[in-house]
Amino acid sequence: MVHTAHRDPTLDELTHHVLREWAERGDPTPDPGPVVLASTLPPDDPTAALAARTWLNGLRHTANPRPGLFGGLAGHLAGLRLLAAHHPALHRLATPIAGALRRTRPRGTGFGFPDYDLVSGPAGVLLAHCAPAADPDELAPHAAHLAELCARGAEGLRCTAYEHHDKLAWMQGRINLGLAHGVPGVAVALAAAVRAGTGQPAAVAALRALGRWLADQAHHERGAITWSAADGTPPRTRRAWCYGVPGVAWALWETGTALGDPDLTALAAAAVSSPDDFHFTGDTPGDRLAVCHGAAGVLAVFDAFTRAGLPGTAAAVHRLLDHLRRHQDEVAELARTDMTLLNGAAGVLAAARTASGAPRGWLPLLGLR
């Protein structure tokens, strides 16, 4: 792959600094964050090579048998395949993990996030197989599983595992509407499978049902379109990757694109053209800046819309890039304790570099392109 990123000295310097500092700390992580960030550098970059070696060595001690994309086997697979794009010998390590993921299904009491979602469940497992490129044959069993879960549409994703949970009891009996843990994450995974040509009528039917359901949940008020966090709760004003307008609108866009449904893509376009007052609040740099809740995630979504050709989104990309540049000291601070993709500095810098022109092969890990 020819590296064609527009060079940004600020992002370049900070990226090299945080990757070298992380490698020197010897802080192993099963999360693909450091590898994702390294993949935005030229393949012959010494810092990228150092980060790759450090992550691979650490994987021996941090490998997790759970299937999830973030902290589990699917994340290991994604990291290995991103590295294998330039080091093909690593495919021999990735292949058995892909086989294990075909055989692994979550088992627990009730039905919860690990049974379906993007972060810890089958939707993320499917998306891990799309980075840096998708093979329809590999996606097919994972798409079939998601389609089976959604045979009754979104109703099949209603949570029943959290009645006595100390933090998630609010989700009991509800259907989540966030990209990270809800219907939108399953929709983007199914859309990826349909777009890749898996040729499964059940996957198409499930995706169509989820798209219609998401459209029905939209709230239209004072010229703005919003979505609630889960059934029966008021719409949230905060915009983020994990929940709120950006992630849901992208899921609708991907669904409409995969199905050739202009009504869904029009709704998605209208949602992101609504008043774009971003509020990045929180007690930590991770809350305010990282992919999951903060500016980097919204940047990644709007950049995906811009690359997809949606008019009017480029201005938000430039504004969000400037925001992250102004807070580079906080990004460096975050890197000292967190180099993960969703909540750490690796994701912040990867999103910023990718919006500046770096390779996009890792974006399926966020459900994006």
Extract the annotated binding site for Zn(2+): 242, 292-293
Three-state SS string over 40-102 comes to CCCCCCHHHHHHHHHHHHHHHHHCCCCCCCCCCHHHHHHHHHHHHCCCHHHHHHHHHHHHHHH
- What the block records as the tokens of 354 is 């990718």
CB of 187 closer than 8 Å to CB of 156 = no
Which of 306, 302, 294 minimizes the C-alpha distance to 345?
294
* CA 145 vs CA 69, 190, 268: distances in Å: 16, 10, 26
Which of 179, 101, 157 minimizes the C-alpha distance to 368?
179
* CA 41 vs CA 37, 57, 186: distances in Å: 7, 20, 30
Beta strands in the chain (DSSP E): 219-221, 224-226
- What the block records as the tokens of 278 is 């971003």
Tokens 């979550």 sit at which residue? 106
Annotated binding site: 242, 292-293
* CA 203 vs CA 99, 113, 366: distances in Å: 21, 20, 20
Cα–Cα distance between 79 and 91 in angstroms, integer?
11
In terms of Cβ atoms closer than 10 Å to its own Cβ (0-12, 13-18, 19+), residue 26 is exposed
DSSP string covering 220-255: EETTEEE-BSBTTSPBP----SSSSHHHHHHHHHHH
Quick one: residue 260, left, alpha or beta (phi over 0 = left, psi -120 to 50 = alpha)?
Answer: left
Tokens 């759970």 sit at which residue? 66
